[in-house]
A and B are shown apart, each in its own frame.
Chain A
């Protein structure tokens, strides 16, 4: 296989041979089977977070020139409250109560103001999911990229980022609770593995709709399409290939000339 250099042990795990052959792998696998934890299973939750801002136009005043919303939503607009218990948005200190705690979806804060600043978005998960919160950072954007253009009330400024929360070793109760939920990508479980019955989570049985499919600002949401991205990459690759071909031609041309000079070109 590959000739790996002598391994630099960076993991805190007990030292083991760095070149596992298939045979030794099998031995190790049987050992691990005994553990209840599942390996190579991760749950990932695709998210989109960002802001939408609109200029207030006539109603704009000096200190309130824009109205804006900062939010976290499922990338496919599904209900992420199955995983997320609450979201804390930390706004600029000049705002009243700058620490906004949102305990149910849609996880967003709407305000009005004039300034752009960084917002810390901290996700808190249900107890069976993860007891450690995760933070995202978003720079609030009010003004369009094209600074020279006039401000308009018609089209808001939208800045969204895609990312995924990865839970590398989900608990069984978490797995059983979220089986088949559209908000996340559920891993394939080893054959024959049975999940226990789902446990109730501490959400007081809220039946309120938590998805953002009919969100008032939904028309401005970006849809992050893998297909589009692949097309762009393919186009970029083509460009690179064309350039490589061109360079090759140039090289062969130069080499040809070189040959001629070496063999002594006749005048």
Chain B
């Protein structure tokens, strides 16, 4: 009982041939095997490796699961026979030249392919120059198949799309962020304006929803600062710097205004407004900037026209544009 088992387990063969002819000992069920009700005799046997592709006479053994006296069929060759494609020098010159691959490299690749039966993971490790698995595969396979334009086109298209998506995405993200800021400020400006005008029961998107009343405009919570307290100097200086440009894009100009306003309002309020707008899931898809420009322009200029006839600006020195060439 114990003796033969132990020997079996330890893999101590008596003689190679005798083992193969040895009658199987009684079935040894492995602990992890579930009893399935079907009576089967399963045993593990230490058997020689069949049909080895080795050229020498080395006999190897291994554990084989034998079910009902039948060892599993199949080739246990460690080395599978694979027909690796070969090429002559002429054939190389005619069909296989590649800008990126030298002949030496290609030769090496094919040699490795043969040695390792097209197991590219192994080949990739052993390849002297650093090449990715895909590159090696491509090089091997592409030499012999007709060039598939469709597949390559698809690949290229997918690549360009991915590339443009990622760059585009970055840009979009930046745009959206800028827009969100702009939107948030548009909303914030309007809302805070309403508080100051003390005319409407509307309430700004800030935390004191219940407590702000029209009459409390002088007692705004400390955390919320109305943009209308943005000093004339700030507004005028933004305008001044824009004037210095002699020419600018409207969207740029408005961004500058919003930035000036946001620096007065404070980061906390910006974030709070952004957050509440996001939470409302307001559907506000702006396809173009155009009307936003005009509307924001109105909003931006509103606080400054409040209480005055027209936007008040500081005295500025103007550059005279000379018609010079």
Q: Which residues of A contact B (CB under 8 A)?
A: 1-5, 7-14, 16, 18-20, 22, 25, 28, 31-32, 35-37, 39-40, 44, 46, 48, 62, 65, 75, 114-118, 125, 127-128, 130-132, 134, 136, 139, 141, 143, 147, 160-171, 173-174, 199, 222, 224-226, 228-230, 232-233, 235-236, 239-241, 243-244, 247-248, 251-252
Contacts and interface: CB of A to CB of B under 8 A. Distances in A.
B284 A166 contact: no
B234 A164 contact: no
Interface residues of B, number: 74
Contacts of B317: 13-14
Contacts of A10: 233-234, 237-238, 241
B290 A240 contact: no
5 contacts: A7-B234, A12-B244, A19-B232, A37-B318, A147-B161
Contact of B293 (A1, A28, A136, A162): A162
Given A162-B289, A164-B250, A171-B323, A13 B209 contact: no
A11 B243 CA distance: 11
Contacts, number: 210
Nearest to B303: A2
A46 B290 contact: yes
Contact of A166 (B168, B250, B308): B250
B284 A236 contact: yes
B247 A244 contact: no
A162 B286 CA distance: 11
Given A7-B231, A115-B160, A233-B295, A251 B210 contact: yes
Given A5-B231, A13-B315, A230-B291, A166 B249 contact: yes
A4 B231 contact: yes
A8 B295 CA distance: 27
Contacts of A160: 288
Interface in B233-277: 233-234, 236-238, 240-251, 253, 277
A160 B290 CA distance: 11
A161 B246 contact: no
A169 B320 CA distance: 9
B203 interface: yes
Contacts of B248: 134, 165-166, 168
B36 interface: no
Interface in B274-325: 277, 280, 282-295, 307-308, 310-321, 323-325
B321 A169 contact: yes
A132 B247 contact: yes
A244 B203 contact: yes
A143 B161 contact: yes
B323 A117 contact: no
Contacts of B320: 36-37
Nearest to B248: A166
B156 A62 contact: yes
A164 B293 contact: yes
Contacts of A199: 323
A128 to B, nearest CB: 5
B22 interface: no
A163 B321 contact: no
A173 B288 CA distance: 32
Contacts of A139: 164, 167-168, 171
Contacts of B205: 240, 244
B320 to A, nearest CB: 6
> Which of A11, A170, A232: most chain B Cβ within 10 A?
A11
Given A14-B317, A65-B157, 9 more contacts: A8-B233, A39-B316, A114-B157, A114-B160, A134-B249, A162-B288, A166-B242, A225-B291, A229-B286
A244 B288 contact: no
A46 B290 CA distance: 8
B164 A117 contact: yes
A99 to B, nearest CB: 21
A36 B244 CA distance: 17
A173 B247 CA distance: 16
B59 to A, nearest CB: 56
Given A20-B314, A35-B318, A171-B321, A75 B290 contact: yes
B134 interface: no
B266 to A, nearest CB: 13
Contacts of A232: 284-286
Nearest to A46: B290
Nearest to B153: A62
Given A13-B315, A128-B323, A251 B209 contact: yes
B202 interface: yes
Nearest to B191: A240
A-B pairs with the 6 shortest C-beta distances?
A229-B291, A7-B233, A4-B231, A162-B290, A164-B250, A116-B164
B149 interface: yes
Contacts of B319: 169
B295 A230 contact: yes
Contacts of B230: 4
Contacts of B223: none
A167 to B, nearest CB: 6
